[in-house]
Amino acid sequence: MLRDPGVSVSWLYKWIDRPATPAQRRRAELDAEVRTRFDASQRAYGSPRIRADLLEAGWTVSVNTVAASMRRQGLQGRKPKRCKG
């Protein structure tokens, strides 16, 4: 990486040691909350239901944001059983 033109050693260490951005902190908090809600549902709820729970708790998130969080963590809700008529 240091062999690329325009990348100095000081920039690299500045980049490595930088604090987390507000978006990264919020994403980490959301991931933790999604994991908690998913485990509380016995690993059954999908992103729409978890989003509804988060909205009740005061979060402002979309279904796609919750789905991305679940995808990052490898979480997947159970599919509902269908009637085999």
Q: Which tokens in the block code for residue 31?
A: 């991931």
Q: What is the pLDDT of residues 23-82, one digit of tens each?
A: 999 999 999 999 999 999 999 999 999 999 999 999 999 999 999 999 999 999 988 888
- Tell me what pLDDT residue 80 has: 80
Give residue 6's region: left, alpha or beta (phi > 0; psi -120 to 50). Answer: left
- Tell me what pLDDT residue 10 has: 84
Q: How remote is the C-alpha of 67 from its chain's centroid?
A: 8
Residue 3 pLDDT > 80: no
Record the pTM. 0.77
Domain ranges of the chain: 20-73
Q: How remote is the C-alpha of 75 from its chain's centroid?
A: 10
Label residue 85 by pLDDT band (50, 70, 90): confident
Q: How many CB atoms lie within 10 A of CB 21?
A: 9
